Amino acid sequence: MPNYTSAPELTDSYLETVWETLPRFIRPTFFLSAPALFARLGCDLTIASETFQYTGSFKFRAAYNLLSSIPQQRVVAASSGNFGQAVAYASQLLGKSSVVVMPATSARVKVAAVQSYGAVADLIVADRAGRRVRGPCL
């Protein structure tokens, strides 16, 4: 996959490349009709449920696509939970190491999930304006 200096244009070709990059074992998305919302809003509405993905959200697709397109073997991400889990899981699948910087107030279940995928969860006090590097840069 090419390296981008800005967001890629969402062409059919780009989307095909993304789908080819995603692991074949990604779980299917369930699409649910919403007749009660149709009756209330007067428009056809379909709900895409991503709750059965390994990390519990759609964010895994973006994280995997990004991490598979960069040469770096060590990754740092900032997240309070869902994207951090996605980065950690994608890193595990791709053989990369990751650190997810998370607010110290993050839900413990999300911190545990990040760690369960092999990432380091670096908990910080998020209300401070400045930070000091606590160790060598990755």
Active-site residue 110, yes or no?
no
Catalytic residue among 68, 69, 80, 97: 80
Question: How far, rounded to the nearest angstrom, does the alpha carbon of residue 69 sit from its chain's CA centroid?
Answer: 14
Kindly report the number of other CB atoms within 10 A of residue 63's CB atom.
Answer: 27
Which ranges in 10-123 belong to alpha helices (H)? 12-21, 35-41, 59-68, 82-94, 108-116
Contacts of residue 136, defined as CB under 8 A and 6 or more positions apart, other chains included, come to none
Catalytic residue among 49, 59, 91, 96: 59
Cα separation, 74 vs 71, in Å, equals: 9
Active-site residue 80, yes or no?
yes
Q: Which amino acid is at 81?
A: G
Residues with a catalytic annotation lie at 59, 80
